[in-house]
Structure 1
Amino acid sequence: MTSHLRILAPGPSSTVQDRGRAGYQRYGVSVAGAADPLLHAAANALAGNAPGDGAVEFTLAGDSIAVEGGPVRIAVAADAALTVDGEPVPAWTSLRLTDGQTLRIGALRSGMRGYWAVEGGFALQPVLGSVATHIRSRMGGLDGTALKAGDRLPLRLDQAADRGERCLDPSLLPARGGTLRVMLGPQQEYFTKAGIGAFLEEDYAVSHEADRMGCRLDGPVIEHARGFNITSDGIPLGAVQVPGTGRPIVLLADRQTTGGYPKIACVVGPDVAALAQMRPGDRLRFAAVDAAEAARIQARHRQTLEALPGLLQSAGGFALYDSARLLGFNLIGGAVTGWD
């Protein structure tokens, strides 16, 4: 029998994501992919998968999942309370579950998004080389939409491998701060000196107008020098558009492929994930870096991802609910993750 995971109750917005659908923006196809690649890769590492395999990204609160078949191995990378059949279990560790068992992932205690992965990944048909869900185009994932109650996710493996469990101490991950590093341009000449100064010197706050496509910020108005329309051009990850309102919008994983508002800057790739984990009302600042520093930041990010398997530890031979094992994990406190 092919093993499945059945969604009993989905989180507010849970979607299957991998590294995204790269190489198709020229055709109008959005990249999508994990909003926080580090946590996505951490969940996959714990499950024993490659870092870019498909996993489920959830927002604010996680899913309730029942095992059909198996046994299966699931790992959750998030600051959230978990239970299996009503008993508490730790996040940041792999869990071997048997047919009929139910995993429930509670509300996030910090951050905006978490991830869960299953050993072997999901048996989903890639679209243009990716299983990433892009809801606006109904592409990827199970049926191009967020997970719904009753959905059954087919698994590549009918049975989890017979091995010990792994855990990850999230405090070993680099800490994120409230400063997002940017490279100015490519249309910085469309803004006055005062506008650029406000962008780099003042605080901004995440507004309620934020989703996987982009994040509008509240704060000082950024003054235009040459109007707010340009000939539409490509939108990279982290592009900071400034429409006529003067309120900046940072484009995220589900961004459109082109746009006609001038871009004052582009957030350095790893820091886009820091923004994707911020909640409405969280405050931030921007700091300009040059191309050489941006390249060093990206290189450190790659090194962090490559080092993830080496951070894993054995979770020990305790039973799933053994008190000695549970006491070895922090089931209450939060963790902040990041790049530097």
Structure 2
Amino acid sequence: MSIEVIRPGINTTFQDRGRSNLYHLGIPFSGAMDTRNLLITNKLVGNDKNDAVIEFALQGPKFKVKQNNINCVVTGNVSFTFKKNSKIYNGECYKTFDLNNNDEIDIISTNNSMYGYFSISGGFKIEKKWNSYSTHLRSKVGPNKGDKIVENDILQLNKNVKPIIKKSIDYSNSKIEFIRVIKGTNFDYFSKESQKSFFESQYQVTNLTDRMGMRLDGNKLNNIKSENIKSEGLIKGVIQVPPDGKPIIMLSDHGTIGGYPKIGVIVSADYDKIVQLPPMSKIKFKMIDVKSAEKLFKLYSMETKNILDQI
């Protein structure tokens, strides 16, 4: 029971909800960039919420199926086709479809977004590393020897003991007008003019963006206290400002410590949204307080539950 990798795509890896309690070993949380899409993917194919999915960025993978009766799904804003009985069909995201031996699925690309997800009923036959299926490329931690999925890989599948049930949901990634942040621990390191500029000006996502971080281009932020500080712990969503004054947003594979001043932290409720922004996207930030951020996360969690309950 397996699928063969004909084309790996860009940065295609196994991911789940991430690994915790390992920062002291220098191992970050990792996990799917877009948690809500991960949960939807697993629910659509009847898998556990903690099961692994395949995550891809921009260009997706192409697979050939090596068994009958595989129930599949693709999520995100993604264009894909599948070949079934030698006929090619246009795929529909968030809607399961079944494939048989020698059928193919060609995940062409994401559309105006960064990440998409693929999984099958029963899941992938892979081992947990440090209590997670997530891949962290820089430390080579995770399934597949901690590496990307590559051409000619044979991905083993678990036997699906559940009956195949066709499922779908009407869902799309949220559009955003601004990204909400709370003040960072070093907010007062920056001049009043830079503090004001950070929230009033527009930033652009650069090509220097991956699972570790997102570099932004825009008005330079003036640090009036210290460009380097004693290294301290980081979390995903922290916005660091290096000496060039251009912000860097720490993403899921971020380093566990950092020595650049932190002007802000993206609220958890907006994290799924910002990771989906491709290069050249425009961003504006809005400052809120911690209590408001907590309310937003409760709302995000409730919305996610309501979406999953519809499946």
TM-score (norm 2): 0.95
Give % identity.
29
2:119 maps to what in 1? 117
Structure 1 residue identity aligned to 2:104: T
Contact 1:83 1:103 in 2 (8 A): yes
Within 2, Cα distance between the matches of 1:130 and 1:90? 29
Secondary structure, aligned partner of 1:66 = strand
Q: Deviations over 1:278-301 (max 9, x none)?
A: 111110111111111110111112
1:324 maps to what in 2? none
Structure 2 residue identity aligned to 1:285: K
2:70 maps to what in 1? 72
Contact 1:17 1:141 in 2 (8 A): no
Contact 2:199 2:287 in 1 (8 A): yes
1:82 pairs with 2:80 = yes
**Residues 81-160 of structure 1 correspond to what in structure 2 (within 5 A)?**
81-85=79-83, 86-157=88-159, 159=160
1:162 maps to what in 2? 163
Within 2, Cα distance between the matches of 1:70 and 1:22? 36
Deviation at 1:273, TM superposition (A): 2.0
1:279 pairs with 2:278 = yes
Within 1, Cα distance between the matches of 2:50 and 2:199? 34
Deviation at 1:74, TM superposition (A): 1.1
Within 2, Cα distance between the matches of 1:118 and 1:270? 27
Within 2, Cα distance between the matches of 1:304 and 1:80? 22
Within 2, Cα distance between the matches of 1:88 and 1:203? 37
Contact 1:19 1:52 in 2 (8 A): yes
Within 1, Cα distance between the matches of 2:241 and 2:259? 10
Deviation at 1:272, TM superposition (A): 2.1
Contact 2:71 2:164 in 1 (8 A): no
Within 2, Cα distance between the matches of 1:186 and 1:111? 30
1:188 pairs with 2:187 = yes
Contact 1:142 1:153 in 2 (8 A): no
Aligned residues: 307
Within 2, Cα distance between the matches of 1:69 and 1:45? 22
Structure 1: which 5+ residue stretches go unaligned?
313-340
Within 1, Cα distance between the matches of 2:17 and 2:105? 25
Deviation at 1:36, TM superposition (A): 0.8
Secondary structure, aligned partner of 2:306 = helix
Q: For the structure 1 residues 303 and 50, does the alpha-carbon distance in structure 2 shift closer, same or farther, using more than 3 Å as the test?
A: farther
2:15 maps to what in 1? 17
Contact 2:18 2:30 in 1 (8 A): yes
From 25, 28, 31, the equivalent of 1:27 is 25
Within 2, Cα distance between the matches of 1:268 and 1:7? 37
1:198 maps to what in 2? 197
Contact 2:185 2:264 in 1 (8 A): yes
Q: Deviations over 1:113-139 (max 9, x none)?
A: 111111122121111100101111111
Within 2, Cα distance between the matches of 1:196 and 1:47? 46
Within 2, Cα distance between the matches of 1:145 and 1:230? 33
Deviation at 1:303, TM superposition (A): 1.5
**Residues 248-287 of structure 1 correspond to what in structure 2 (within 5 A)?**
248-287=247-286
Stretches of 4+ aligned residues off by more than 3 angstroms:
none
Within 2, Cα distance between the matches of 1:122 and 1:270? 29
Deviation at 1:9, TM superposition (A): 0.7
- Higher alpha-carbon deviation: 90-99 or 15-24: 90-99
Q: Deviations over 1:22-62 (max 9, x none)?
A: 11112211111111111111211111122332101111121
Within 2, Cα distance between the matches of 1:51 and 1:164? 17
**Residues 171-320 of structure 1 correspond to what in structure 2 (within 5 A)?**
171=172, 175-312=174-311
Secondary structure, aligned partner of 2:118 = strand
- Higher alpha-carbon deviation: 255-264 or 83-92: 83-92
